[in-house]
Structures are given as structure tokens and as C-alpha cells.
């Protein structure tokens, strides 16, 4: 950048380099945010400073590379120039300073690569200078915008194609034949000598191959271009609807640099916006008027009629010209060129007629433009096709005549029979009568009837003379195509001059002496109709392709034509046209044009292929004379010029045995690729949709939540009541609420925990099946509940106040992590986990109950089997937080402090691998402090010490009772606090244990995803309902609003935990 | 990136606007600013309805008076080779008339009026503004943030086209020849 700009800014701070560039690095990561806070944290910088100092060449190299990256990318930063220069200078200094320390070679390597890049860039720029008409197109673009320019770019591209085609035909057909001559243009000129010159150039073969190669090349180049375009267009999400935005923000063409253009652009923008408004309004009102419909029907009928008429006229003209040729010895200029003139006239006039007709229809401008294009395309195709069919008809007659005559000559008797009927002869007589007459066997009969023949044919001799040339049907077709092309060019030039230029002159100079304003009212200036002009180019190219096989010089001619057109058009556009009011969106239509061109190519190739396959080549002219079919040249060459084995191989390859499977394979491949493409498209759409919803929902929800939190402070009624009277009855009430479900008991566990409401919603949203399953496994534990009433009371009291306190400060780190973990796991493996770690809040918001439920059944089996063992350790981490707090209060009461030590030993996870074991210990925990000590017995594994065993002894009872009592408990039948004592003790001891573990555990839980994946059991319906979410958030309304995002998760996680423990 | 050639030419371009003000020797980084009247009369800008905004955005003082650095800055952003992100960013700033980091309704109205030279009626302007917000405002706060704007503008077909097509080849000449703020 700044070999120059450097001296310009000397004053910039130079010495702070090492520090500065660090912040730059961060900036380079985040483009925009860094713009605001460019002073990164300083500790980071220091660290990097050390790095710079380190002697490790690899690191140093990395650093230097990084600096270079900064230098290279500095252009992409939205900083003021002064800052850029500063940063650049610092980066440079660092590079210079440390580069010397590195081994030179590495530096050279990269420098070499850089140099190469620069060179290629330079070369590229030079090449650009040689792109033809670039300046001209730029000029047009700056005046008329990109739409008009797209026409010229398209023209130039076609020009390029034609150049290549010309080179192909020129190098392989025309030049080898030697000197130029008029007839070099056509098929008939070329000899059929198999080898030319000493080098043995095989002209017929070359002719055929080049003819095919022209098509092949065109196809390939077209498809490649289209693929490239579609890649570009795919990059933009085309479905997205920003009509108005784009019309406002992207409207101004910043390329415009002259006032006139600016004015017209301004007008165009106004038009454009008005059009969009109209469109918008039109969407609302329905236009199902009978009159309109009938008008449209009428218009379509008119169009169809004119199409049919044009096709008929062409057919008629071709037919007439044939008759004329047969009847008249000398044709006038008009008669000779009648066909092509008529075709060109139709192609000129019909589009305007269509345009008039389309005004009847009153479509939306864009729709009508599409209709117009389609109609014009059909017209052009119809013209070309009717012409070629008429020509081939004639060819048919010609070649059938030849075949009839030749077959007749071989059978004298039948010949005689036909001779006796002169009218048959009149069609069949070839010019070679005389030559054939020399045939000895024929001599006698011929001479005997010569008199009569001569009499009958005398009036047609002149026709024969002429037919000598026409016999060569290939030449004839080629001639017609060339004629058509020439006349088309003449008409184009004429129309440009007349319609655009003269009109422009008249409008400009006569407007003063006329009673109305010519410039703005009737004749106006000619508009440049991009779409139709492009279509005309396509049509022109179609003609070339159609005739290229029969007239090898047609592409060369087309090259000249295009050059002429380029200059003429660009001149006309700049002098006497105004841009089209409704600009056809060039960017969108690029592939549209190309698709039409491809369509044209295909349709134009068909007649040629048909003619090659169907008709016999002329016997006395052209490279294929004497052959049965044109493509025989291939088999002949293979036979004669290649080794024997090659012929054999070829015969195998072309046999149905190979061809059919190959075709099948091709079909399969196509089908396969297509289905892949479809699925990709589908996923693409899905992703886009997801992105959209994520963007919108996400934001909306966050805002909603923020709003909810504002209103939140008053805590939900239920909770408060629960808190206040935490005795048995209140308990029962909370128990009862979810009871209608079988596993209503599940919720009980949570209900005391100040989250009654949230739990209830969960229970409701859980699916039936799930619940029933859950119910079976869980009911026993539920049954235990009543036993702990006593303890419960206590915990509840303890918990609520404490918890409030905890939530605010302690949410920050750990809990958030574990919670995240739970959710992620439900969904899917590791990747998700990683990602979610970075953007947790969003994840929560996105979660939908449905998704989770869906996932659930998959793991159900395992779940039932192992849930008891694994779940808890997950929750442990979160809950332990609460335990901790409780602990503080309950510590004094706890008689079992001694348990702390042994348990601690066994429980502490020594490593990650250890982790799935430790899970067991925490199980008890899930009741944690709140209620469910009772559950411990089931889950507590053997390794636990006696205290636990003691509990286990009670377990059976609990189980048994659980079954019966689950019902009762729900009804509020209070059970005796029989086992409460034990449990309580245990609970306390456990809580204490928990404390030291939490940290390491939560960390490990978060980090070791393997284990989690293997025990998928923590599946748990973590169901996020918005309300719940909000409520949870509301409960912590004290938290500063600003934190909303971060604080949500903890809240939610808590909810989740609770839910999880239920499962 | 501006090459040596371009910078030098731009420097002379800058100097030509006011030869009496701008010294040839910039080694001491003199504090020279050209008034907006001079900048806005450049052929590249003079027909642009947003010329004043452009000058304001790129000038350090926010008034449209530009130092050489600002000038270089402007051309580097407006050049065809500037990356899309950066163009979107500055486009946002240009359309953000009141510099509040959001494109709100009043900004939109100003934009529209400048663009159409006050040819649209009030109703039309209001409707267009509504539609624009409707389309691009993802967070429903009634104004466009930078995110919204980028999301929208980077998908514009014109935007893509200009950034991929052959136009990007015209490096040197066209950077200077015309302002290629290509949307």
C-alpha cells in the first residue's frame, strides 16, 4: 500500500509498536466491533509480546506471517486512513525487526510467492487492457447503467465464441483446401479426395469432425458459463425479499458520472419505486374482470394467429421459390432472395406487433415483458424451423430424385418403363444422363428411346443445367442460411438507421416546429430494448449454428457481422437512444439469456443432425460424395487407417451390448446426481430458513424476555405460598397439582423448590408415553416423599432465602456450563456441545419442546435401564450449588460430619475416565436437600459405605410402599416420617460431601463429552417453555437488566436440573 | 490496495483541487483540509445525490472538510476493489444521516428524498419507508441496525454482481476515473 503513503504520515506514533499491533490482531478478528473498542485488554497484549520475543522460529514465523496478514488485509478494515497507516507502519516494523532472525529461506519462499502473485496480478491487468471494446462498454455503462451494458457484454461474449468457431473451421477446413474462392463458403466446394498433399490431410474426416466439434464446443462453453453464473447466483439467497430495500439503498449507480445520466437515473429510480408501490397495491386488489380475461384470450389468439401466419408465409415462400426455380430460367434478385427477405421482415415486424398486442392484455410490466420474450422466442424458432423444414423438404425431393434415377439406371427394364411415362422423368432426370449414357450396357436401350426422351425433356434442359449446382443440397442449405444471415444484417442496420437514427434526428430537430412535444409525446426517442435485442443476438447465433455445417465460413462471417453490430449499436445507443424505462434486471437475467441460447443451440443442432443422419450426401459434390451416409466417414476411417484391433474395439464399443448399459449407467448417474442436487437444495432451504428464524426469533425472544423481566419482580403466587407454609399440607398441594398424570409425582420433587409452576408446565408438555414409562420407574422414589416431610420443611425454609442470594452471584460460570451441557446432550453429540458453549443463550431460546420430546424415545430403553445411575451425577453439579448454600445453614445440625472424609475419598473423581463411576455417588443427591433422599437407596451403588447400606436396607420397604403410596401421597395422605431421620442424616452428610466436589466435577462434566454420549440417559425433557422461562427469569428480577442474556441461562439450567432429576 | 501509482495520482488529484492550499511536501504531515465545496465539486461526486453525506462520513471532522488522509480513505473505500463488507459498512454510515448508528425513519425519508429529488409524494415516501422497515428490520425495533443493513445489502444482486464480475479488473484507471461505489 504505502510505499508512498508512508512518508506522508511521519507524525504517526511509531514507538508503541509492539503493544499496538496486538490490539490490531484482535481487531482483525472482529471487523466491526473492534472499530468501537479498539483498545483490547492489555494482558493479552503482554502475552503476545512474549511470544514475539520467543526464539522459537516457528512462532516467530507465525507472528511475522500474522503481521503480514495485517498488512495485506488492512484495506478491509473500516478505519480512518490515519489509523490504517499507523497500524500498517507498526506491523511493518515488527516484520522487519524479526524477519532477520528467521532463516532466510523461509522468508524468501513467502516473498517469492508474493512476487508471483503480484506478477500474475500485473499480467492480468495487462490482459484486461486488451479486452476488446472494454472502454466502449464502460462508457455505455456509465451512461445507461448496467442493463444496457449487459447486452454489449453478451454480444462480446458471442463474438468470442464465433472467433473460436471461425478458427476451428478455418484452420481445419478452409485453409487446407488452399486458396480462397467464393464457393469456399459452402459445402459443395470441398473435394472428396481422401488425402490432400503429401502430408495426407484427410479433408472429409476433418470436415465431419469439425462440424461436430463446433456443436460440442458451443455446448461446453455455454454450459460452463451457465454453471459459473449459477454459482454466483446461488451465492446470493435469491429467495429473500428485499424489493423495497434494494430499490432504495442499491438504486443509485455510483458509476454515474455525468449530469444527464444522473437525471435519467433519478427518473428511473422514481419509476422503479412507483412500480414497486403499484405492485404492492396490485397484490392487494384482485383483478378478475371478465373483460380483462376476454381481452387476454383475444390477445393470445392474435399472437397465435400471427405465429401460425408467419410460419405459413415462410413455408409458402419457400415453396414458391422452388416452383420459380423450376419454371424460370433466370431469377431476378428479388426472386432469389425472396425467402430470406420475408423471414427477416417477419422477425422485424412481428415483435412490434406482439408488443402492441400485449398492451391489450394489461399485464404487469414485468409479466408482459416475459410474455413478450417468450412469444418472440417462439416466433424466431418457428421461423428458423419452418425455413429449415421447407429446405429439407426440397432436399428430400432432390435426393429422392437422385436415388430414383440411379436405381432406375441400374435396372434398364424399369427405366424403360419410366421412360415411357415422361411425367415421372421430369422429376427424376438428373444431369448425368449423358455420362451414364456412355455406359455400355445402357447404350442400346438409351439410344433407342433417346428421341422420345429428348423430346419430353427438351423444355427442361435448362433446369438441369442449373440443377447441376443445386444438386448439391448441402450447398443449397448453406447458401440459404448465409443469405438469411446477410439479409438479417441488412435489416438490422436499416432498422437502426431508420427507427433509431432518423427518428432521433426528427425528434430532436423538428420538435420546435411541431405542435406537440416530439421528445416526450408521440415518436419520442427510440428506447433501447435490452431483452429483445439480446433475443435477436440469440436468433442470429442460432442461424449460424444451423448453417455452420453446410457453410464452414458462416462463423467467420458472423464474426464480422458482430463487429459491425457492436460499433453500430454502441454508436446508436450513445447518440439516439434512451434507456428502457423498465429495465430488465440484468443480473438476474444473465442465466436467462444463456438458457435461451442453450435452448437455441439444441434446437438448431437438431436439423443438422437430422439432415446428416437422414439424407444421403450429394453424389457429385462435397467431401462426402459417393458415400451412403455422411457419418460413414468415421467407420471408413476406422477401417482403413487404424489398426485392425482398433476397429474391433470400436465395433464392440458401438454394439448394443456396450451402448445400452452405458446409457443405463448414464441415466442412473443423472438420476443420482439430480437427487443429490435436490437434497442439497432442500438442506439449503432448510438452513436458510433456520438462519432466518434464528435471526428473527432469537432477537424477538430476547426482547420479549427482557420485557418480561421488567415486569417480573412480583414472584409467582404459588411459590410464595409454598414458601410460607412449608408444612405437609402445602406440600401435598404442590404434589397434587400435577397428579392427574401418572408421574405427577415426579414433579413433586421439584415442587418444594420454589419452582412449582415451572415444573408443572414441564409435566404437562411431556408426552404421554414418556410419562407412562417414566412413571413406572419412578414411582417408588416418589413414594418415599412423604417420609421426608419433616426434613422437607426445613430445607424449604432454608432453601428459599438462600437460593435467592446464590443465584445472582454464582450463576456466572459453572452452572451455566453444566446446564448447557445437559441441553446439548439431549440434542446431539459433541459438535453441538462445542458450539453451544460459545453461544449458550441462543441455544436456549431456540429450543423447542417438540424437538426434545422427539429425541426422547430413541434412548428410552437405555434410559430405563441406567437412568438411575447416571442421571444424577449430571445434576449433582448444579444442585450442589444449592446444597452448598444449604449446607451453611444446616451444618450445625448435621450429626454426620464424620462421613465427610470417607465419602470424599471415594467420590472424588480422579480423572476423566473416572467420571462415569462417580456418577453413582451423587444419586442421592438428586433429591438433594429438597426432598428425595428416599431415592438414594436405589441408586446408591455397592461401593458406598455402611451409612448407605443402611439406607439400602430400607430400600425394599420403600419400594413396596412406593408402589402403593404413590397414589396416596398424591392425594395428600401424609405418611409417617418413619425413615425420615435416616434420610435426613444422609442428606446432610452428602451435602457436605458435595461441596468440595462441585468444582472439579462440573468442570469435568462439561469437558468430557464422551462419557455423556455413552450414557445418553440424561436425556430428560428439558423443555423450555417461554412462560416458564420468563417466570424463572422473573423470579430473579433483582438481577441487573443488562445481564439478561447471561443470567437467563442459569435460571433455566436450574429448571432443567430439576426436571432432569425427575426423570 | 492502492498501489504507489494510485496514491500518487490521487495525491495530485487532491492537490489539483486547491493547489494554493496543498503543499507538495507532505513529509511533516501538515494539517491541511479542503473545504467541502471543493470536494463536492469533483466530477465523480458532483452528480451524486449523497455527495455531502459521503464527504461527511469520510471526513474526520464530520463536516465534509477533508484532509489528504480522508481523501485517500474515501477513494479506497469507493474503489471497485474494496471488499464488500467495508462497502456495506460505509454505505450504512452514509445513509445514517443523524449519526445515531441506526437508520431510522427520518434517515430513510431523507435518503428517499435525495434519491428521487423530492419527486415522490409524502404518502409514497411513507409507504416506502414502511415497506423498507418491514423487509429489513429483523428485530422489530423500528429502525435498521448495522446488522440488519448488512444482512440486506449483502444479498442484493447488484452487490454480488459488482463484486464478482469482470468489473473488478479495472483497477487503476477506473478508481480515479469514476467513483465506483458499486451497489
Q: Read off the pLDDT of residues B97-148 as tens digits, 9 standing for 90 and up.
A: 888 888 888 888 888 888 888 878 888 888 888 888 887 777 777 888 888 8
Instruction: Give the pLDDT of residue A331.
Output: 67
DSSP character at residue A792: H
Chain A: closest CA distance from residue B28 (Å): 6
DSSP per-residue codes, A351-386: HHHHHHHHHHHT--HHHHHHHHHHHHHHHHHHHHHH
Q: Which residues of A404-425 are buried (b: 16+ CB within 10 A; e: fewer)?
A: bbeebbeebeebeebbeeeeeb
Instruction: Give the pLDDT of residue A522.
Output: 62
Chain A: closest CA distance from residue B151 (Å): 10
Q: CA-CA distance, B96 to A618, in Å (whole number)?
A: 75
Bridge partners (DSSP) of residue A579 are A528
The answer to whether residues A751 and A734 touch, using CB atoms and an 8 Å cutoff, is yes
Residue that the C-alpha cell 424458432 belongs to:
A381
Q: CA-CA distance, A553 to A169, in Å (whole number)?
A: 7
DSSP per-residue codes, A408-467: HHH-HHHHHHHHT-HHHHHHH--TTHHHHHT-HHHHHHHHHHHHHHHHHHGGGHHHHHHH
Closest CA to A1046 of A885, A842, A877: A842
Instruction: Give the pLDDT of residue A902.
Output: 41
Instruction: Give the pLDDT of residue A856.
Output: 39
Contact: B139, A700; criterion CB under 8 Å:
yes
| Residue of chain A nearest B109, judged by CA positions | A248
Contact: A280, B131; criterion CB under 8 Å:
yes
> CB-hemisphere CA count at 13 Å for A346?
29
Range A906-910 contact pairs with CB under 8 angstroms and sequence separation of 24 or more: A906/A943, A906/A944, A906/A945, A907/A993, A907/A997, A908/A996, A908/A997, A908/A1000, A909/A997, A909/A1000, A909/A1001, A909/A1004
Cβ neighbours of A243 in B, within 8 Å: 131, 135
Helix (H, G, I), strand (E, B), or coil: what is residue A21?
Answer: helix
The answer to whether residues B89 and A32 touch, using CB atoms and an 8 Å cutoff, is yes
Neighbour count for residue A956 (Cβ, 10 Å): 11
Instruction: Give the pLDDT of residue A669.
Output: 95
Contact: B159, A250; criterion CB under 8 Å:
yes
Contact: B139, A699; criterion CB under 8 Å:
yes
Q: What are the start-end ranges of the H helices in A100-133?
A: 104-129
Cβ neighbours of B2 in A, within 8 Å: 1-2, 5
Chain A: closest CA distance from residue B138 (Å): 6
- When CB atoms are compared, the residue of B47, B86, B131 closest to A262 is B47
For chain A, which residues score pLDDT lower than 50? 1-53, 179-182, 236-238, 406-470, 584-589, 714-945, 947, 949, 951-952, 955-1063
Grid cell listed for A726: 412449608
The answer to whether residues A469 and A475 touch, using CB atoms and an 8 Å cutoff, is yes
Chain A interface mutation, best of B169, B174, B176, highest count of A Cβ atoms under 10 Å:
B169
Q: CA-CA distance, A1024 to A1060, in Å (whole number)?
A: 13
Interhelix angle A134-169/A203-235, nearest 10 degrees = 150
Chain A: closest CA distance from residue B21 (Å): 16
Classify residue A528 as left (phi > 0), alpha (psi -120 to 50) or beta.
beta
Grid cell listed for B156: 442484493
Residue that the C-alpha cell 464452414 belongs to:
A552
**Can you give the pTM of this predicted structure?**
0.52
Cβ neighbours of B47 in A, within 8 Å: 256-259, 261-262
Q: CA-CA distance, A128 to A150, in Å (whole number)?
A: 18
Closest CA to A337 of A317, A310, A307: A317
Instruction: Give the pLDDT of residue A633.
Output: 79
| Residue of chain A nearest B182, judged by CA positions | A254
Q: CA-CA distance, A996 to A571, in Å (whole number)?
A: 87
**Ramachandran angles phi, psi of A527, nearest 5°:** -90, 150
Grid cell listed for B154: 449483502
Contact: A146, B158; criterion CB under 8 Å:
yes
Instruction: Give the pLDDT of residue A976.
Output: 40
Instruction: Give the pLDDT of residue A266.
Output: 75
Grid cell listed for A267: 427518473
Q: CA-CA distance, A344 to A380, in Å (whole number)?
A: 10
Q: Give Cβ neighbours of residue A415 (< 8 Å, ≥ 6 apart).
A: A408, A409, A445
Bridge partners (DSSP) of residue A527 are A578
Q: CA-CA distance, A940 to A434, in Å (whole number)?
A: 117
Q: CA-CA distance, A407 to A435, in Å (whole number)?
A: 15
The answer to whether residues A531 and A581 touch, using CB atoms and an 8 Å cutoff, is no
Q: CA-CA distance, A146 to A142, in Å (whole number)?
A: 8
Bridge partners (DSSP) of residue A528 are A579
Q: CA-CA distance, A224 to A226, in Å (whole number)?
A: 5
Contact: A277, B171; criterion CB under 8 Å:
no
Interhelix angle A860-890/A768-784, nearest 10 degrees = 40
Q: CA-CA distance, A315 to A311, in Å (whole number)?
A: 6
Higher pLDDT, B79 or A938: B79
Residue that the C-alpha cell 446477410 belongs to:
A486
Q: Give Cβ neighbours of residue A523 (< 8 Å, ≥ 6 apart).
A: A503, A506, A507
Instruction: Give the pLDDT of residue A792.
Output: 42
Chain B: closest CA distance from residue A876 (Å): 38
Q: Give Cβ neighbours of residue A160 (< 8 Å, ≥ 6 apart).
A: none
Surface-to-core class of residue A378, CB atoms within 10 Å of its CB (0-12 exposed, 13-18 middle, 19+ buried): middle
- When CB atoms are compared, the residue of A32, A254, A269 closest to B179 is A254
The answer to whether residues A74 and A84 touch, using CB atoms and an 8 Å cutoff, is yes
| Residue of chain B nearest A241, judged by CA positions | B135
Instruction: Give the pLDDT of residue A771.
Output: 41
Chain B: closest CA distance from residue A793 (Å): 46
- When CB atoms are compared, the residue of B108, B119, B138 closest to A270 is B119
- When CB atoms are compared, the residue of B81, B120, B139 closest to A270 is B120
Chain B interface mutation, best of A141, A248, A696, A842, highest count of B Cβ atoms under 10 Å:
A248
From residue A438, alpha-carbon distances to A157, A433, A441, A824 in Å are: 56, 9, 9, 98
Chain B interface mutation, best of A4, A89, A160, highest count of B Cβ atoms under 10 Å:
A4
- When CB atoms are compared, the residue of A7, A244, A257 closest to B47 is A257
Q: CA-CA distance, A752 to A1003, in Å (whole number)?
A: 28
pLDDT digits (tens, 9 = 90+) for A321-373: 778 777 776 767 777 777 778 888 888 888 888 888 877 777 766 677 778 88
**Ramachandran angles phi, psi of A578, nearest 5°:** -115, 155
Bridge partners (DSSP) of residue A201 are A196
Surface-to-core class of residue A656, CB atoms within 10 Å of its CB (0-12 exposed, 13-18 middle, 19+ buried): exposed
Bridge partners (DSSP) of residue A255 are none
Classify residue A334 as left (phi > 0), alpha (psi -120 to 50) or beta.
alpha
Contact: B155, A11; criterion CB under 8 Å:
no
Q: CA-CA distance, A374 to A354, in Å (whole number)?
A: 11
Contact: A80, B47; criterion CB under 8 Å:
no
Cβ neighbours of B161 in A, within 8 Å: 146, 232, 586-587
Instruction: Give the pLDDT of residue A591.
Output: 73
Neighbour count for residue A878 (Cβ, 10 Å): 29
Residue that the C-alpha cell 447416571 belongs to:
A870
Amino acid at each position: 500500500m504505502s510505499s508512498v503513503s508512508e512518508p506522508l504520515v511521519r507524525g504517526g506514533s511509531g514507538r508503541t509498536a509492539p503493544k499496538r499491533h496486538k490490539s490490531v490482531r484482535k481487531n482483525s478478528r472482529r471487523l466491526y466491533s473492534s472499530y468501537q473498542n479498539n483498545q483490547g485488554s492489555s494482558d493479552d497484549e503482554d502475552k503476545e509480546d512474549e511470544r514475539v520475543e520467543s526464539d522459537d522460529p516457528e512462532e516467530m514465523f507465525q507472528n511475522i506471517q500474522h503481521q503480514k496478514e495485517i498488512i495485506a488485509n488492512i484495506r478491509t478494515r473500516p478505519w480512518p486512513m490515519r489509523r490504517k497507516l499507523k497500524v500498517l507502519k507498526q506491523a511493518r516494523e515488527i516484520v522487519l525487526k524479526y524477519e532477520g532472525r528467521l532463516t532466510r529461506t523461509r522468508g524468501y519462499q513467502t516473498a517469492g510467492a508474493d512476487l508471483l502473485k503480484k506478477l500474475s496480478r500485473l499480467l492480468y491487468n495487462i490482459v484486461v487492457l486488451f479486452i476488446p471494446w472494454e472502454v466502449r462498454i464502460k462508457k455505455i455503462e456509465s451512461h445507461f447503467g448496467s442493463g444496457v451494458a449487459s447486452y454489449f457484454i453478451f454480444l462480446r461474449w458471442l463474438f468470442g465464441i464465433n472467433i473460436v468457431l471461425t478458427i476451428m473451421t478455418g484452420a481445419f477446413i478452409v485453409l487446407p483446401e488452399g486458396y480462397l474462392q467464393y464457393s469456399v463458403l459452402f459445402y459443395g466446394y470441398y473435394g472428396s479426395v481422401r488425402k490432400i498433399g503429401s502430408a495426407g490431410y484427410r479433408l472429409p474426416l476433418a470436415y465431419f469432425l469439425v462440424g461436430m466439434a463446433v456443436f460440442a464446443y458451443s455446448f461446453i462453453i455455454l454450459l460452463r458459463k451457465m454453471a459459473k453464473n449459477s454459482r454466483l447466483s446461488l451465492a446470493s439467497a435469491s429467495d429473500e425479499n428485499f424489493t423495497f430495500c434494494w430499490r432504495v439503498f442499491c438504486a443509485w449507480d455510483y458509476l454515474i458520472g455525468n449530469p444527464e445520466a444522473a437525471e435519467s437515473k433519478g427518473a428511473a429510480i422514481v419509476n422503479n419505486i412507483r412500480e414497486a408501490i403499484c405492485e404492492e397495491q396490485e397484490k392487494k386488489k384482485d383483478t378478475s374482470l371478465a373483460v380483462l380475461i376476454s381481452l387476454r384470450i383475444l390477445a393470445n389468439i392474435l399472437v397465435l394467429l400471427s405465429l401460425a401466419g408467419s410460419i405459413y408465409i415462410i413455408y409458402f415462400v419457400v415453396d414458391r421459390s422452388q416452383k420459380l426455380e423450376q419454371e424460370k430460367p433466370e431469377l431476378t434478385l428479388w426472386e432469389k432472395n425472396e425467402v430470406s427477405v420475408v423471414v427477416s421482415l417477419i422477425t422485424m415486424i412481428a415483435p412490434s406487433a406482439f408488443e402492441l398486442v400485449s398492451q391489450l392484455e394489461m399485464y404487469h410490466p414485468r409479466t408482459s415483458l416475459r410474455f413478450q420474450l417468450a412469444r418472440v422466442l417462439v416466433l424466431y424458432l418457428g421461423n428458423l424451423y419452418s425455413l429449415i423444414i421447407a429446405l429439407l423438404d426440397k432436399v428430400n425431393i432432390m435426393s429422392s430424385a437422385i436415388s430414383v434415377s440411379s436405381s432406375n439406371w441400374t435396372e434398364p427394364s424399369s427405366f424403360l418403363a419410366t421412360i415411357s411415362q415422361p411425367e415421372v422423368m421430369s422429376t427424376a432426370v438428373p444431369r448425368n444422363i449423358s455420362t451414364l449414357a456412355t455406359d455400355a450396357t445402357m447404350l442400346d436401350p438409351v439410344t433407342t428411346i433417346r428421341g422420345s426422351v429428348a423430346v419430353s425433356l427438351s423444355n427442361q434442359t435448362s433446369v438441369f443445367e442449373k440443377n447441376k449446382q443445386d444438386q448439391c443440397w448441402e450447398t443449397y442449405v448453406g447458401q440459404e442460411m448465409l443469405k438469411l444471415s446477410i439479409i438479417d444484417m441488412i435489416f438490422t442496420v436499416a432498422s437502426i438507421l431508420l427507427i433509431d437514427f432518423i427518428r432521433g434526428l426528427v425528434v430532436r430537430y423538428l420538435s420546435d416546429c411541431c405542435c406537440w412535444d416530439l421528445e416526450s409525446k408521440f415518436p419520442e426517442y427510440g428506447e433501447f430494448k435490452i431483452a429483445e435485442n439480446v433475443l435477436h443476438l440469440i436468433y442470429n447465433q442460432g442461424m449460424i449454428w444451423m448453417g455452420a455445417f453446410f457453410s464452414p465460413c458462416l462463423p467467420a462471417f458472423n464474426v464480422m457481422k458482430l463487429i459491425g453490430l457492436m460499433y453500430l449499436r454502441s454508436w446508436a445507443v450513445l447518440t439516439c437512444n434512451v434507456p428502457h424505462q423498465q429495465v430488465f434486471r440484468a443480473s438476474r437475467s444473465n442465466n436467462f439469456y444463456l438458457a435461451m441460447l442453450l435452448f437455441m443451440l439444441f434446437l438448431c443442432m437438431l436439423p443438422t443432425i437430422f439432415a446428416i443422419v437422414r439424407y444421403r450426401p450429394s453424389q457429385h459434390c462435397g467431401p462426402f460424395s459417393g458415400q451412403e451416409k455422411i457419418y460413414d466417414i468415421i467407420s471408413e476411417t476406422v477401417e482403413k487407417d487404424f489398426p485392425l484391433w482398433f476397429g474391433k474395439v470400436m465395433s464392440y464399443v458401438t454394439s448394443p451390448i456396450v451402448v445400452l448399459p452405458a446409457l443405463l449407467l448414464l441415466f442412473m448417474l443423472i438420476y443420482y446426481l439430480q437427487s443429490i442436487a435436490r437434497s442439497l437444495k432442500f438442506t439449503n432451504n432448510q438452513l436458510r430458513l433456520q438462519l432466518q428464524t434464528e435471526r428473527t426469533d432469537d432477537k424477538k425472544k430476547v426482547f420479549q424476555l427482557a420485557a418480561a423481566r421488567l415486569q417480573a419482580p412480583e414472584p409467582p403466587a404459588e411459590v410464595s405460598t409454598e414458601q410460607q407454609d412449608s408444612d405437609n399440607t402445602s406440600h401435598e398441594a404442590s404434589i397434587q397439582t400435577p397428579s392427574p398424570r401418572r408421574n405427577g409425582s415426579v414433579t413433586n420433587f421439584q415442587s418444594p423448590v420454589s419452582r412449582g409452576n415451572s415444573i408443572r408446565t414441564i409435566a404437562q408438555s411431556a408426552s404421554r408415553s414418556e410419562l407412562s414409562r417414566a412413571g413406572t420407574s419412578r414411582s417408588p422414589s416418589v413414594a418415599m416423599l412423604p417420609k421426608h416431610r419433616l426434613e422437607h420443611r426445613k430445607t424449604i425454609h432454608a432453601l428459599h432465602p438462600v437460593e435467592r442470594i446464590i443465584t445472582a452471584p454464582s450463576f456466572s460460570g459453572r452452572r451455566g456450563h453444566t446446564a448447557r451441557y445437559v441441553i446439548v446432550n439431549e440434542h446431539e453429540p459433541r459438535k453441538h456441545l462445542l458450539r453451544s458453549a460459545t453461544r449458550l443463550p441462543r441455544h436456549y431460546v431456540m429450543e423447542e419442546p417438540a424437538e426434545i420430546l422427539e429425541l426422547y424415545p430413541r434412548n428410552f430403553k437405555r434410559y430405563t435401564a441406567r437412568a438411575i445411575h447416571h442421571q444424577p451425577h449430571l445434576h449433582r453439579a448444579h444442585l450442589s450449588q444449592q446444597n452448598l448454600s444449604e449446607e451453611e445453614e444446616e451444618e450445625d445440625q448435621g450429626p454426620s460430619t464424620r462421613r465427610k472424609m470417607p465419602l470424599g475419598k471415594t467420590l472424588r473423581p480422579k480423572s476423566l475416565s473416572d467420571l462415569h463411576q462417580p456418577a453413582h455417588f451423587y444419586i442421592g443427591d438428586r433429591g438433594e436437600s429438597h426432598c428425595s433422599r428416599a431415592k438414594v437407596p436405589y441408586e446408591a451403588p455397592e461401593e458406598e459405605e455402611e451409612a448407605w447400606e443402611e439406607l439400602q436396607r430400607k430400600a425394599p420397604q420403600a419400594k413396596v410402599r412406593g408402589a402403593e403410596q404413590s397414589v396416596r401421597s398424591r392425594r395428600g395422605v401424609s405418611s409417617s416420617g418413619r425413615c425420615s431421620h435416616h434420610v435426613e442424616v444422609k442428606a446432610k452428610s452428602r451435602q457436605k460431601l458435595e461441596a468440595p466436589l462441585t468444582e472439579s466435577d462440573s468442570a469435568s462434566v462439561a469437558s468430557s463429552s464422551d462419557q455423556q454420549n455413552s450414557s445418553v440417559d440424561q436425556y430428560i425433557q428439558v423443555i423450555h417453555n417461554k412462560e416458564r422461562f420468563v417466570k424463572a427469569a422473573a423470579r430473579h428480577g433483582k438481577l441487573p437488566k443488562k445481564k439478561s442474556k447471561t443470567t437467563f441461562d442459569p435460571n433455566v439450567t436450574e429448571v432443567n436440573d430439576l426436571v432432569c432429576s425427575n426423570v | 490496495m492502492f498501489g504507489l501509482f494510485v496514491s500518487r495520482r490521487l495525491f495530485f488529484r487532491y492537490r489539483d483541487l486547491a493547489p494554493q492550499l496543498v503543499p507538495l511536501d507532505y513529509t511533516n504531515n501538515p494539517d491541511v483540509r479542503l473545504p467541502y465545496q471543493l470536494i463536492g465539486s469533483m466530477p465523480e461526486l458532483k452528480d451524486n445525490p449523497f455527495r455531502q453525506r459521503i464527504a461527511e462520513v469520510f471526513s474526520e471532522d464530520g463536516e465534509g472538510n477533508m484532509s489528504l488522509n480522508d481523501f485517500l480513505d474515501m477513494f479506497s473505500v469507493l474503489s471497485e476493489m474494496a471488499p464488500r463488507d467495508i462497502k456495506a459498512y460505509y454505505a450504512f454510515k452514509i445513509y445514517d444521516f443523524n449519526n445515531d448508528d441506526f437508520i431510522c425513519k427520518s434517515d430513510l425519508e431523507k435518503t428517499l428524498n435525495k434519491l428521487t429529488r423530492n419527486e415522490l409524494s409524502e404518502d409514497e415516501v411513507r409507504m416506502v419507508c414502511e415497506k423498507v422497515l418491514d423487509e429489513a428490520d429483523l428485530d422489530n425495533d423500528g429502525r435498521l441496525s448495522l446488522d440488519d443493513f448488512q444482512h440486506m445489502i449483502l444479498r442484493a444482486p447488484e452487490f454480488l454482481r459488482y463484486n464478482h464480475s469482470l468489473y473488478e479488473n479495472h483497477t487503476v484507471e477506473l478508481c480515479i476515473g469514476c467513483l465506483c461505489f458499486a451497489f
